[in-house]
């Protein structure tokens, strides 16, 4: 195998960030314990540099390492989103880890390693590479979930996430093996070439289904969602914020790429499965969220529900007429979800106190009176999660439902809007508590936290008026086919 | 700059200037907050008069159009598209007219969190204006859903004891209908490659069987808002719990958004389906008229009585619309205005007395006319207007509607018109019952009760008079000389009716 500079160009952002993370691991040794904020800054700098590099790659399409990784509009879009998520994740963690007494330099390096895994996932064009990327993104997250040790909840979250995650990864490996057995290759382009020749065998379908199970776990789709509430609740909140956006983005990116490029010929079998998965995820996520009294658990179920909405973008993947539109809609929805989600978790972090106090929804009573700006921001996030104007959530849903209807899945769209209605009930409860109940909430004032919540709230509103740029970018971010 | 100076853009978004100013006024300077909000809404009203001056009623097309491409990438074709025609001009004026009146009514009634109240109120005005002016379905949907948010806060923060229940119920109920409309909007957008309402109407080629489903989806959103029987159950709760200004706007404008939706979207976009649905809508409207009137009569709480009377009155509007002839539709549009004025005024008056007595139980009142002659007289005029006494505005609207409903080809039977006429009589029963209980007869116990705590019940003060008298002027004006109002909409109504494929 002859490697040319062009091969490396495909992976430059990934390599850059990996090297940066490795060096940071060393540099961190020399940073005194009480100044770990410096590590955070350096990590953020690395992310920003990588982001800049990725933005310079817009428009370039290339295959590298003999077709194992690709660089295309899709990967550029997803990687940029992942890096922004990483930056937001660091901004939220900066004060939080200090306050909770878990400030250690590894936090930030682990975050960076996880992001490299996610980025590789978005670029992978080979099932083996996808598997490697999956492990690379997951293992740091397992550790981060347990980062608040010796707090029992956090350790439990880490352990649970690890055990179930390892189990799910097993599904991916097994699925990969079956696909290899059916087609003789793990490369996506070879798989699709094989399947286009003859009738795709049952083995291939089973393999694809197993891969779907593995990723369904990562993105928290029902019925593979059981870990989500416990892990989201137990993990340090800043980790949860990052995990609920980053891992989802990466998981969906991989799923989209694998299914749209490698498995279009078994779409007839998979569409119904995806349909049911999406419907089930929306229904279960939203209905169970109603009965939650803990804000972290509620947002966990909300994130399950939103996985269901994003899954809707997959359903028409076998239909070439609407595939690109629905992928673009899915990507746009991921952006709108990530921005809103980070903001909402930011507010949660602002109210959280030691020993897990300040996490009940009832603790938000009186926020509207005492901290109007924070309450207004939270209201914006809740409206966006429901999908109401003037927020990006509405635009995202509009885009997504349009793709689903254009694909001919009107009933799925109906389930989608009806479950949105259900979701309005529990999101509104937060607003009710903040504005219409009396209480004396206490919040932490931290510069970066405040900036993050403020900025995400602003973006959530402003992007709803000017989504053009993002629309255009998302619709160009189509998958490169071989 | 050209974009901002469009008359309709100014009209829609001027209240935001007030919002911006409000943000910089300290919360404890309550009067400055009130004056700012009042000023912003008065300027908006001024702009609406300026718009009226430029409006040419004989032109049936959209006027003063502000149309710019908004989101036109990736197969989207969404425009920022505002326009005005004879179907909407009166509602726009009504909205601009009722807003300052409502703000005036809060002067002493809202003492807590004045700043937030005014912010939400002005935001609500933006949303309502947008609903009546938007001609792009996406833009319309944004304004439509947006009105929910400030109204939800107005009820939920400043409402009565069951305010949270009422606010959430209002929100979820209305959203349930809207999201079905969202799907229909998306379907139309994909099918017609545009969201522009006039363009979609001009294409006019939606297959009949699909038209039916789209009609139902739009109707779900609008019928809940109207509200049509049997989807009305959110209304009494929302009305009773809302603060006075909220009730006025809710009855005066928000309910009209539902009936307006039928006129603007359902009739012209889905003409065949509308004709097919007309007998059923007429049936529901008639049930609503009679049911609303009967339930009104049974109420002990005066605000609830007025709330249920809305169900009855809006039944008339729906009946007129689906009579699908010029009298019916014109009467319906005028009745929307009438209901906004009369019921708005009733809520204002109820609010004024409630502010002094803190009770709405009719049985504790009595003999008020003697103590508060001005208040009593105004109440009598408004009540008579609400029940449709000739010479006052309510009569003109209801009479024209019934005229349209008789012999309407789309409804196909006169039974509904006859039964609805009974509704007029029943209105007299419950309205006069209310007036008699509160203002006539022996002095009620509340009079002494209030005296114990201070000066006793006083008559209207100057501010309250300033609030209510403008409405009275229109009550008489429309009642005695409705021609200018009909003239504003007649060509547009004729044009609309001409488009309907009535057998």
Is the pLDDT score of A111 beyond 90? yes
Average pLDDT over residues B231-236: 88
Write out the E strands in B349-443.
none
Q: Which of B152, B167, B186 sits opposite A402 (nearest CB)?
A: B186
Residue B324 pLDDT grade (very low, low, confident, very high; cuts 50, 70, 90):
confident
Residue A334 pLDDT grade (very low, low, confident, very high; cuts 50, 70, 90):
very high
Please give the pLDDT value at position A43.
93
Q: Which residues contact B144 (CB under 8 A, 6 or more apart)?
A: B127, B131, B178, B181, B221, B257
Residue A51 pLDDT grade (very low, low, confident, very high; cuts 50, 70, 90):
very high
Q: Which of A428, A436, A471 sits opposite B157 (nearest CB)?
A: A436
Nearest CA in chain B to A326: B74
- The verdict on A471 touching B (C-beta cutoff 8 Å) is yes
Q: Do A388 and B164 touch (CB under 8 A)?
A: no
Lowest average pLDDT, out of A340-349, A380-389, A446-455, A470-479, goes to A470-479
Q: How far is CA A66 from CA A194, A254, B271, in A?
A: 18, 19, 60
Q: Which residues contact A453 (CB under 8 A, 6 or more apart)?
A: A343, A346, A347, A350, A374, A377
Q: Do A417 and B138 touch (CB under 8 A)?
A: no
Residues of A in contact with B175 (CB under 8 A): 388, 421, 424
Residue B26 pLDDT grade (very low, low, confident, very high; cuts 50, 70, 90):
confident
pLDDT for A126-148, tens place per residue?
Answer: 999 999 999 999 999 999 999 88
pLDDT for B375-428, tens place per residue?
Answer: 888 989 999 888 888 888 888 888 899 888 888 888 878 888 888 888 888 888
Handedness of CA A81, A83, A84, A86 (dihedral sign): positive
ipTM value, please give it. Answer: 0.88
Please give the pLDDT value at position B143.
92
Whether B140 and B170 have beta carbons less than 8 Å apart is answered as no
Number of C-beta neighbours around residue A111 at 10 A: 25
Among residues 313-352 of chain A, which lie with CB inside 8 Å of chain B?
A: 325, 328
Write out the E strands in A166-319.
none
Please give the pLDDT value at position B284.
92
Please give the pLDDT value at position A1.
63
User: Quick one: which of A234, A241, A301 has its CA closest to A449?
Assistant: A241
Residues of B in contact with A327 (CB under 8 A): none
Q: Which of A372, A402, A435 sits opposite B156 (nearest CB)?
A: A435
Residues of A in contact with B152 (CB under 8 A): 428
- Higher-scoring residue by pLDDT: B85, B370: B85
Q: Do B142 and A402 touch (CB under 8 A)?
A: no
Is the pLDDT score of A478 beyond 80? no
Average pLDDT over residues B120-147: 92
pLDDT for A151-177, tens place per residue?
Answer: 888 999 999 999 999 999 999 999 999
- Please state the domain extents for chain B: 1-267, 270-503
Is the pLDDT score of A224 beyond 80? yes
Whether B94 and B253 have beta carbons less than 8 Å apart is answered as yes
User: Quick one: which of A383, A298, A370 has its CA closest to A340?
Assistant: A383
Q: Do B148 and A424 touch (CB under 8 A)?
A: no
Please give the pLDDT value at position B131.
93
Q: Do A417 and B163 touch (CB under 8 A)?
A: no
Residues of B in contact with A421 (CB under 8 A): 172, 175-176, 179
Q: Which of A405, A410, A421 sits opposite B175 (nearest CB)?
A: A421
Q: Which of A63-67, A468-472, B264-268 has the highest average model confidence (pLDDT)?
A: B264-268
Q: Which of B143, B172, B183 sits opposite A424 (nearest CB)?
A: B172
CA distance B149 to chain A (A): 9
Lowest average pLDDT, out of A8-17, A67-76, B63-72, B114-123, goes to B63-72
- The verdict on A307 touching B (C-beta cutoff 8 Å) is no
Residues of A in contact with B187 (CB under 8 A): 405, 410
Residue A196 pLDDT grade (very low, low, confident, very high; cuts 50, 70, 90):
confident
Q: Do B142 and A390 touch (CB under 8 A)?
A: yes
Whether A314 and A256 have beta carbons less than 8 Å apart is answered as yes
Is the pLDDT score of A200 beyond 70? no
Residues of A in contact with B179 (CB under 8 A): 417-418, 420-421
CA distance A472 to chain B (A): 6
- The verdict on A67 touching B (C-beta cutoff 8 Å) is no
Average pLDDT over residues A328-350: 92
Q: Do A475 and B179 touch (CB under 8 A)?
A: no
Please give the pLDDT value at position B74.
65
Model pTM?
A: 0.91
Across chain B, mean pLDDT equals 87
pLDDT for A319-332, tens place per residue?
Answer: 888 888 888 889 99
Average pLDDT over residues A396-414: 89
Identify the H or E element spanning A257: helix A237-257
Q: What is the 3-state secondary structure (H, E, C) of B310-341?
A: HHHHHHHHHHHHHHCCHHHHHHHHHHHHHHHH
Please give the pLDDT value at position A118.
94
Counting beta carbons within 10 angstroms of the beta carbon of residue B387, is it exposed (0 to 12), middle (13 to 18) or buried (19 or more)?
Answer: buried
Is the pLDDT score of A86 beyond 90? yes
Name A360's bridge partners. Answer: A294
Question: Which residue of B23, B186, B193, B241 is the best one to mutate when testing the A interface, meaning the one whose CB has the most A CBs within 10 A?
Answer: B186
Please give the pLDDT value at position A479.
67
- Higher-scoring residue by pLDDT: A307, B442: A307
A142/B278 Cα distance (integer angstroms)? 62
B130/A307 Cα distance (integer angstroms)? 33
Across chain A, mean pLDDT equals 88
Residue A116 pLDDT grade (very low, low, confident, very high; cuts 50, 70, 90):
very high
Residues of A in contact with B126 (CB under 8 A): none
Please give the pLDDT value at position B389.
85
Please give the pLDDT value at position A456.
93
Q: What is the CA radius of gyration of chain A?
A: 21
Please give the pLDDT value at position A84.
94
Lowest average pLDDT, out of A331-335, A352-356, B15-19, goes to A352-356
């Amino acid at each position: 195998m002859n490697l040319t500079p062009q091969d490396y160009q495909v992976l430059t952002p990934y390599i850059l960030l990996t090297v940066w993370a490795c060096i940071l691991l060393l540099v961190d040794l020399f940073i005194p314990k009480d100044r770990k904020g410096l590590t955070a800054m350096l990590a953020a700098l690395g992310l920003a540099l990588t982001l800049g590099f990725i933005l310079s790659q817009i428009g370039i399409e290339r295959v590298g390492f003999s077709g194992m990784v690709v660089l295309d509009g899709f990967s550029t879009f997803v990687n940029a989103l992942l890096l922004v998520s990483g930056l937001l994740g660091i901004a939220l963690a900066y004060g939080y880890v200090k306050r909770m007494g878990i400030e250690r330099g590894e936090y930030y390096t682990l975050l960076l390693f996880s992001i490299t895994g996610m980025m590789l996932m978005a670029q992978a064009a080979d099932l083996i590479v996808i598997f490697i990327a999956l492990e690379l993104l997951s293992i740091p997250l397992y550790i981060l979930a347990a980062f608040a040790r010796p707090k029992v909840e956090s350790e439990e979250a880490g352990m649970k996430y690890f055990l179930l995650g390892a189990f799910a990864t097993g599904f991916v490996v097994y699925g990969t093996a079956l696909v290899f057995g059916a087609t003789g290759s793990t490369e996506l382009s070879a798989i699709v070439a094989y399947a286009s020749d003859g009738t795709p065998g049952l083995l291939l379908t089973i393999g694809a289904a197993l891969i779907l199970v593995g990723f369904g776990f990562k993105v928290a789709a029902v019925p593979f969602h059981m870990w989500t509430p416990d892990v989201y609740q137990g993990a340090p909140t800043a980790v949860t914020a990052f995990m609920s956006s980053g891992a989802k983005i990466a998981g969906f990116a991989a799923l989209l790429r694998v299914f749209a490029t490698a498995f279009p010929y078994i779409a007839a079998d998979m569409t119904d499965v995806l349909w049911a998965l999406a419907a089930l995820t929306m229904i279960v996520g939203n209905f169970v969220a109603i009965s939650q009294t803990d804000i972290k658990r509620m947002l966990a179920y909300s994130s399950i529900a939103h996985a269901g909405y994003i899954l809707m973008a997959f359903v028409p993947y076998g239909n070439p007429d609407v595939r690109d539109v629905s992928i673009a809609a899915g990507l746009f929805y991921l952006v709108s979800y990530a921005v809103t989600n980070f903001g909402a978790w930011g507010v949660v972090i602002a109210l959280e106190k030691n020993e897990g106090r300040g996490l009940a929804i009832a603790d938000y009573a009186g926020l509207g009176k005492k901290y109007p700006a924070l309450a207004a921001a939270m209201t914006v996030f809740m409206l966006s999660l429901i999908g109401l104007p003037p927020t990006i959530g509405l635009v995202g849903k509009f885009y997504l439902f349009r793709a689903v209807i254009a694909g001919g899945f009107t009933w799925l769209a109906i389930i989608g809007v009806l479950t949105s209605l259900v979701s309005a009930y529990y999101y509104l409860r937060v607003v009710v508590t903040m504005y219409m109940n009396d209480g004396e909430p206490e919040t932490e004032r931290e510069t970066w936290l405040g900036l993050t919540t403020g900025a995400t709230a602003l973006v959530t509103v402003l992007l709803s008026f000017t989504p053009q740029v993002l629309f255009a970018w998302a619709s160009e971010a189509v998958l490169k086919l071989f | 700059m050209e974009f901002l100076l469009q008359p309709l853009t100014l009209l829609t978004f001027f209240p935001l200037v007030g919002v911006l100013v409000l943000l910089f006024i300290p919360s404890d300077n309550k009067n400055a907050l009130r004056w700012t909000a009042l000023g912003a809404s008065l300027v908006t009203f001024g702009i609406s008069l300026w718009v009226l001056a430029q409006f040419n009623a004989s032109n049936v097309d959209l006027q003063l159009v502000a149309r710019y491409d908004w989101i036109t990438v990736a197969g989207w074709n969404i425009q920022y598209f505002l326009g005005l025609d004879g179907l909407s001009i009166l509602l726009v004026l009504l909205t601009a007219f009722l807003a300052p009146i409502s703000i005036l009514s809060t002067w002493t009634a809202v003492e807590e969190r004045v700043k937030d109240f005014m912010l939400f109120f002005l935001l609500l005005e933006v949303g309502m204006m947008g609903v009546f002016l938007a001609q792009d379905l996406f833009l319309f949907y944004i304004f439509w859903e947006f009105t929910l948010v400030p109204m939800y806060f107005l009820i939920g923060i400043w409402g009565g004891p069951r305010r949270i229940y009422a606010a959430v119920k209002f929100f979820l109920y209305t959203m349930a209908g809207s999201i079905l409309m969202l799907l229909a909007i998306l379907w139309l957008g994909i099918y017609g490659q545009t969201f522009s309402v006039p363009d979609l109407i001009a294409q006019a080629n939606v297959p009949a069987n699909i038209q039916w489903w789209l009609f139902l989806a739009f109707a779900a959103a609008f019928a809940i808002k109207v509200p049509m029987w049997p989807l009305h159950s959110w209304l009494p709760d929302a009305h009773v719990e809302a603060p006075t200004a909220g009730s006025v706007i809710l009855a005066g404008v928000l309910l009209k958004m539902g009936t307006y939706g039928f006129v603007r979207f359902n009739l012209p976009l889905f003409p065949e389906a509308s004709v097919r649905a007309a007998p059923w809508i007429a049936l529901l409207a008639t049930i609503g008229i009679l049911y609303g009137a009967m339930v009104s009569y049974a109420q002990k709480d005066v605000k609830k009585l007025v709330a249920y009377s809305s169900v009855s009155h809006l039944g008339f509007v729906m009946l007129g619309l689906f009579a699908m002839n010029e009298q019916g539709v014109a009467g319906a549009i005028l009745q929307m205005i009438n209901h906004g004025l009369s019921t708005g005024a009733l809520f204002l008056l109820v609010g004024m007395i409630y502010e002094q007595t803190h009770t709405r139980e009719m049985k504790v009142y009595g003999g008020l006319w003697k103590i508060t002659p001005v208040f009593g007289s105004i109440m009598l005029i408004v009540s008579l207007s609400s029940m449709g006494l000739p010479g006052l505005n309510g009569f003109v609207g209801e009479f024209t509607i019934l005229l349209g409903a008789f012999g309407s080809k789309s409804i196909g039977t006169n039974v509904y018109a006859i039964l609805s006429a009974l509704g007029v009589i029943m209105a007299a029963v419950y309205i006069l019952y209310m007036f008699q209980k509160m203002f006539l007869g022996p002095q009620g116990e509340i009079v002494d009760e209030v005296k114990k705590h201070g000066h006793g019940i006083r008559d209207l003060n100057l501010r309250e008079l300033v609030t209510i008298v403008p409405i009275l002027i229109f009550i008489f004006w429309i009642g005695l000389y409705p021609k200018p109002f009909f003239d504003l909409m007649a060509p547009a109504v004729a044009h609309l009716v001409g488009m309907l494929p009535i057998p």
